[in-house]
């Protein structure tokens, strides 16, 4: 049975899961969902109703980072994740998925946070996360040095989303290493391959 990934094309969590699965060469059926009309089969295995969710025979994985790690355990030809790098990668991803994601939401949806100015959010995001990434990238092409790792792939979709809010911002930020890193991932064959458009998947049990 081919694994199935419930996904939403523009969701950064789903993006990184698709990238890891594609990199690992795992055959997977992409089930593009409608956020307004979530399929019953998704809610049956994952009542929280968020994507991505991987289903593989009796296995269900509901968190994107767990999906990425599972994929790399199946196949990791370029050593994106090793016993020696796992702790530092986990630390980078925790900063991204926690404090930075909160700032990203404030930046992308300012109407939801009327008491917080965009300038304040941008300043906090730059000081706490984007600036440190830029500093790290001055030492090497990628976050862990000269080779891409799971950290780069897990974080890139969120930095992409942040940069898309104001496309002029990154040119004016002075974060040149971050900009180069971002553009490199945006133009990568791996990213482009997982961003093809899929028709909305319809649950056959609901027809």
pLDDT for 204 equals 81
Reduce the DSSP state of residue 28 to 3 states and report it.
Answer: strand
For the chain, give the mean pLDDT.
Answer: 96
Residue 18 Cα to chain centre, angstroms: 9
Contact indicator for 193, 30 with CB cutoff of 8 Å: no
Q: What is the pLDDT of residues 174-184, one digit of tens each?
A: 999 999 999 99
Would you say residue 110 has pLDDT above 70? yes
- SS3 (DSSP) at 198: coil
Q: What is the model's pTM?
A: 0.96
Distance CA 40, CA 158 (A): 28
Q: How confident is the model at residue 136 (pLDDT cuts 50, 70, 90)?
A: very high
Distance separating alpha carbons of residues 122 and 132, to the nearest angstrom? 14
Quote the pLDDT of residue 61: 98
| Nearest of 13, 25, 1 to residue 53 by alpha carbon | 13
pLDDT digit string (tens) for 75-108?
999 999 999 999 999 999 999 999 999 999 999 9
Whether the pLDDT of residue 1 is over 70: the answer is no
Residue with tokens 């609901």: 206
Mean pLDDT value of segment 131-148: 97
Question: Do the beta carbons of residue 161 and residue 204 sit within 8 Å?
Answer: no
Q: What is the DSSP letter of 110?
A: G
Note the pLDDT tens digit of each residue in 17-57. Answer: 999 999 999 999 999 999 999 999 999 999 999 999 999 98
| Pure H helices in the chain | 12-24, 40-45, 64-74, 86-95, 101-108, 118-125, 131-137, 150-165, 169-172, 176-186, 189-194
- Residue 52, preceding bond cis, omega within 30 degrees? yes
Question: What are the pLDDT digits (tens) for 151-192?
Answer: 999 999 999 999 999 999 999 999 999 999 999 999 999 999
């Amino acid at each position: 049975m081919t694994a199935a990934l419930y996904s939403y094309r523009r969701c950064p969590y789903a993006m990184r899961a698709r990238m890891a699965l594609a990199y690992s060469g795992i055959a997977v059926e992409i089930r593009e969902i409608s956020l307004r009309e979530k399929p019953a089969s998704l809610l049956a295995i994952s009542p929280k109703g968020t994507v991505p969710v991987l289903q593989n025979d009796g296995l269900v994985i509901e968190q994107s980072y767990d999906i990425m790690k599972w994929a790399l355990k199946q196949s990791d030809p370029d050593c994106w994740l090793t016993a020696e790098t796992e702790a530092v990668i986990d630390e980078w991803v925790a900063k991204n998925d926690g404090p930075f994601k909160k700032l990203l939401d404030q930046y992308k949806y300012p109407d939801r946070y009327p008491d917080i100015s965009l300038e304040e959010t941008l300043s906090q995001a730059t000081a706490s996360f984007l600036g440190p990434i830029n500093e790290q990238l001055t030492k090497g092409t990628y976050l862990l040095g000269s080779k891409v790792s799971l950290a780069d792939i897990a974080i890139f979709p969120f930095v992409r989303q942040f940069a898309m809010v104001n496309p002029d911002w990154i040119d004016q930020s002075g974060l040149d290493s971050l900009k180069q890193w971002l553009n490199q991932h945006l133009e990568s064959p791996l990213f482009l391959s997982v961003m093809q458009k899929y028709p909305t998947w319809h649950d056959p049990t609901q027809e």
